[in-house]
Structure 1
Amino acid sequence: MTKTRIMIVEDEWMIAEEIRLVLQSMKYEVTSMSSSGEEAVQNAEKDKPDLALMDIVLEGEMDGIEAANEIRSRFNIPVIYLTAYTDDKILERASITEPFGYIVKPFVNEDLKISIEIAIYKHRMEKERKRFIEELQGALPKITSLSGLLPVCPSCKKIRDADGNWK
């Protein structure tokens, strides 16, 4: 089985490096480390990671919430916020982006691993559900256009012939 590929978006180099080492010790593959929202979007497009760990306050014009929103909507990559910010305004803005998790720094390694595994599983199930819905929607016109079916009595299991007689 292939390793889960994770992108780190963190403006503080030392913290990003610590997260990278923690992820590698957990047998995840780190695809890139970005310090700005703009760079994160570029790396998401280029690397197509399985997940993005996103800080909220970043270098550049685009913060982590804006970057997460763009990454999720353009590339369908799940995002877990990994940040020190917990005020209500930020939580409200972050919630709108439909994150797969929100971890407050400093984090416990096991909490990070659990959040990653749940996010990856949930994202996989969402994709599968979407595929099933598309298959069902594609099958619906075929079902409604079926003809020549035999009418069967549900109680006695007799079949009605062309003359309307049950046999």
Structure 2
Amino acid sequence: MSKLKVLVVEDELIVAMDIAEQLRDLGAEPVGHAKSGEQAIELAGQLRPDLVMMDVHLASSMDGISAAQVIRDQFDIPCLFLSAFSGADSLARAQLTAPAGYLSKPFDESELGLALAAVSK
């Protein structure tokens, strides 16, 4: 079985590096890192990962939910949302993109492992 290829979309570099390390520890392959919604769409098209780990709140003109919708529509790649904020409005919008899951930050490696296992089925 090949490794799950994951694109990490996170505008905080230290957090992105930590997520990539956790992915490697869990046997997944982080294939790229994007800091904005626009960059996430571009890299998703180029890299064709199995999963996009998408921060909901990005420091760019396009938030993670909007980017996830485009990625789902154009490339049929599932997104696993990450957020330190779990407002009802954001959750409702995220649900419209048929997400692979939702993790609240900070999360630990075991929570990430469960989410990846659910996607890998």
Which range, TM-score by smaller chain?
A: over 0.9
SS of residue paired to 1:6: strand
CA contact (8 A) 1:9 1:35 kept: yes
Identity %: 37
The aligned residue for residue 87 of structure 2 is 87
Where does structure 2 lack aligned partners over 5 or more consecutive residues?
none
Question: How many Å separate the matches in 2 of 1:49 and 1:111?
Answer: 21
Larger radius of gyration: 1
Separation in structure 1 between the aligned mates of residue 77 and residue 21 of structure 2, nearest angstrom: 22
Amino acid at match of 1:92: A
**Where does 1:1-167 land on structure 2 (aligned, <5 Å)?**
1-121=1-121
- CA separation in 2, counterparts of 1:21 and 1:30? 8
Contact 1:6–1:53 (8 Å) recurs in 2: yes
CA distance in 2, matches of 1:13, 1:69: 23
Counterparts of 1:3 and 1:31, CA distance in 2: 11
Say how many residue pairs are matched.
121
1:89 shift after superposition: 0.8
User: With structure 2 as the length reference, what TM-score do the two structures score?
Assistant: 0.96
Q: How far does residue 83 in structure 1 lie from its aligned partner after superposition?
A: 1.2
Deviations along 1:99-140, whole A, 9 cap, x unmatched? Answer: 01010001021111111111232xxxxxxxxxxxxxxxxxxx
TM-score (norm 1): 0.71
Indicate the RMSD between aligned Cα atoms, in angstroms. 0.8
Match of 1:147 in 2: none
Higher mean alpha-carbon deviation, 57-66 vs 30-39, is at 57-66
Deviation, 1:42, is: 0.3
Structure 1 distance, partners of 2:117, 2:46, is: 23
Q: CA deviation at 1:59?
A: 2.5
Contact 1:8/1:33, CA 8 A, preserved across alignment: yes
Q: 1:73 Cα shift?
A: 1.0
- The CA distance in 2 between the partners of 1:85 and 1:106, in whole Å, is 10
